[in-house]
A = this chain, B = another copy of it.
């Protein structure tokens, strides 16, 4: 199983189709059970949840996953106020923690931080997002939401809508979808176009969700304008857009959301963003299960 090769989980970059599909099945086996059930564990571990950047959603989801699996968690948030403020390098912090715990879940603001951590750690590192780098567990839960709905990742048409420039989840998702037979539509304002480096295949581009696109897609994936990363631009999923969409098209969003996706759509049977978020628990339980045994 390549996922836990070397016991770290850092990137999806060298995963192939078969890897991804077998991960999907693995997550599915966790998802088939009650996600909030405590699983007896006579080999419990101590896991550090080391978050340099705040992220309630991701840290809470890892915390819950580890807890239900019977592990203990040492939460370290707001690292900016601690020894790091005394100039400590990430490497020394990782070395320190690695001598206290059995596994480190790392969220960091700098691309490549997770790789750096692996170099000096005696215990497994899980990448919970490193700046504009990757956020591989988010990508897995996005993929799993699609897989759970359609029982496949091939023969699908997916529209990615919104901030295609700064949206890390988009960049990550698109690379994995490219492994499969997926038609991709890119929809968004000119100012927020996908950076050139992510154009690996031919994508169909437009500035709005036309009726033609709306009728043809299986998934509409909307993202937030990453204002905190400097994005400027406006777009929103409207009631007219919703009416154009096919009945079987699901609507996803990585959350948090702002004005681009109103809560008027929440009760629509095609809305999948809350389920998507809740799939994060299955993904993280699977991952910790694979890595910690």
Check A67 for interface membership: any CB of B closer than 8 A: yes
How many chain A residues touch the partner (CB < 8 A)?
52
Given known pairs A56-B83, A74-B60, A78-B81, the reply for A67 and B46 (CB within 8 Å) is: yes
Check A101 for interface membership: any CB of B closer than 8 A: yes
B67 touches A48 (CB 8 A): no
Report A43-75 residues with CB < 8 Å from chain B CB: 44, 46, 48, 54-57, 60-61, 63-64, 67-68, 72, 74-75
A86 touches B278 (CB 8 A): no
Interface string of A68-96 (1 = CB under 8 A from B): 10001011111101111111110111011
Cβ–Cβ < 8 Å partners of A91 in chain B: 263
Residue pairs across A and B with Cβ atoms less than 8 A apart, 19 shown, are A36-B100, A36-B101, A46-B68, A48-B60, A54-B82, A56-B76, A56-B96, A57-B83, A57-B96, A60-B74, A60-B100, A78-B81, A83-B256, A86-B224, A86-B256, A88-B255, A88-B257, A99-B278, A99-B281
Complex Cα distance, B255 from A143, in Å, reads 42
5 other A-B residue contacts (CB within 8 Å) besides A78-B78, A85-B228: A57-B83, A86-B258, A88-B257, A89-B263, A92-B257
B83 touches A258 (CB 8 A): no
Identical copies of this chain, number = 3
Cβ–Cβ < 8 Å partners of A88 in chain B: 255-257
B97 touches A60 (CB 8 A): yes
Check A213 for interface membership: any CB of B closer than 8 A: no
Complex Cα distance, B263 from A37, in Å, reads 45
Complex Cα distance, B277 from A102, in Å, reads 16
Cβ–Cβ < 8 Å partners of A265 in chain B: none
Check A198 for interface membership: any CB of B closer than 8 A: no
Cβ–Cβ < 8 Å partners of A150 in chain B: none
